[in-house]
Amino acid sequence: MSINIKEVEKEFNHKRVLDKINLNIVDGEFFGLLGPSGAGKTTLIKILTGQLNPTSGCAEVFGCNSSGLTDQIYRNIGIVYEKSGLYDRLSCGDNLYIFARIYGIQKQRIYEVLNKVGLSDSINKPVQKLSTGMKQRLIIARAIMHKPKLLFLDEPTSGLDPVSANSIHNIISEMNKNGTTVFMTTHNMSEASKLCDNIALLDGGKIIEYGTPDNICFKYNKNKQVKVIFKNKTEIISLENLSEYLSKQKDKSHIEAIHSLEPNLEDVFIQLTGKRLV
């Protein structure tokens, strides 16, 4: 078990930000914590990474209480948060070299990770001359350089263009395929659907739904309809009538596509809370 969260609560100035959070994240899982801004996502990541202590409850990372994470645990985790610090005046290579030296990693690994995140040409470029997307990729390079078993990503693609976001998706997806457990917070539901094995929807500090993205969407698929797209028209048919409807079609070659119409995660979130995921 990578992460075990039991009844975690957090209050700031008597205001409850997290309310009885329970979660288990197994080794190798890609977990997404979805919620709008202010839902408590970053607070939970801060508790898990030892930056904050919970008001009550217990959060464990690799079996160790997050309030007292040891050097050994920190060695096994990589963290990417919204305002991860980089040394602006130093080059990409130097930024990684400092951490390689701290972790006791061979210099060769710097070239490997820069290559992986597509920044090998920028090794001597000062960080202050990089674009936002490049900086984020460098932060990810730093976080994965020591080959962590668990990766925390706090809004990793926030404010990035689709191309940069996609490149980051590919990097973290590959890390996960190679066995790294990923804990990601996001308010981007398509990102969560695309990448996560399991997600939890967080609102007002409470988990309001948990499961695989598909299962959650199917669970809230009340209408059970499909969209049949013809060359010149589109029809919405209920799922139970689909076979009968198709058998009535004389020329099936006119059908371009058939799409299921279950709600996406954003629709589910709106159904549950009446709010949008922003």
Partner 1 sequence: MKLNVFSAIAYKQFKDIFKNKTILLQFLLFPLIAILMLVVVPDEEIKSSIPIMFSTIFIGMTPLSCMASIIAEEKEKNTLTALKFAFVKSVEYLLGIGSVIFLACLVIILIFSLMTNGEILVKVKFFIVLLLGLIPSMILGSVLGILSKNQMSVASIVSPISLIVSLLPLFSTFNENIRMISRFIYTQQINDLLNNINNKFEIEKVLIIMGNAFIFLILFAVVYKKKGLKV
Q: Which residues bind partner 1 (CB under 8 A)?
A: 49, 51, 71, 74-75, 77, 79, 81, 83-90, 94, 97-99, 101-104, 126, 142
Nearest alpha carbon to residue 153 among 188, 125, 121: 188
Q: Which is nearer to partner 1, 86 or 272 (CB)?
A: 86
* The token pair that represents 211 in the structure block: 């499961």
Q: Which is nearer to partner 1, 35 or 93 (CB)?
A: 93
Q: How far is the CB of 148 from partner 1 (least distance, A)?
A: 10
Contact 213, 196 (CB under 8 A): yes
Q: How far is the CB of 1 from partner 1 (least distance, A)?
A: 21
Rg of the chain over all Cα atoms, to the nearest angstrom:
22
Q: Which is nearer to partner 1, 154 or 266 (CB)?
A: 154
Nearest alpha carbon to residue 152 among 252, 42, 60, 245: 42
Q: How many CB atoms lie within 10 A of CB 185?
A: 26
Q: How far is the CB of 146 from partner 1 (least distance, A)?
A: 8
Q: How far is the CB of 44 from partner 1 (least distance, A)?
A: 16
Q: How far is the CB of 78 from partner 1 (least distance, A)?
A: 8
Q: Which is nearer to partner 1, 78 or 133 (CB)?
A: 78
Q: Which helix (H) or strand (E) holds 7?
A: strand 3-12
Q: How far is the CB of 41 from partner 1 (least distance, A)?
A: 17
Which parts of 204-271 are beta strand (E)? 206-211, 225-230, 234-238, 255-260
The DSSP symbol for 204 reads T
Count of positions (residues) in the chain? 278
Q: Which is nearer to partner 1, 81 or 269 (CB)?
A: 81
Query: What is the distance in angstroms between the CA of the first residue and the CA of the last residue of the chain?
Result: 31
Q: Which is nearer to partner 1, 152 or 269 (CB)?
A: 152
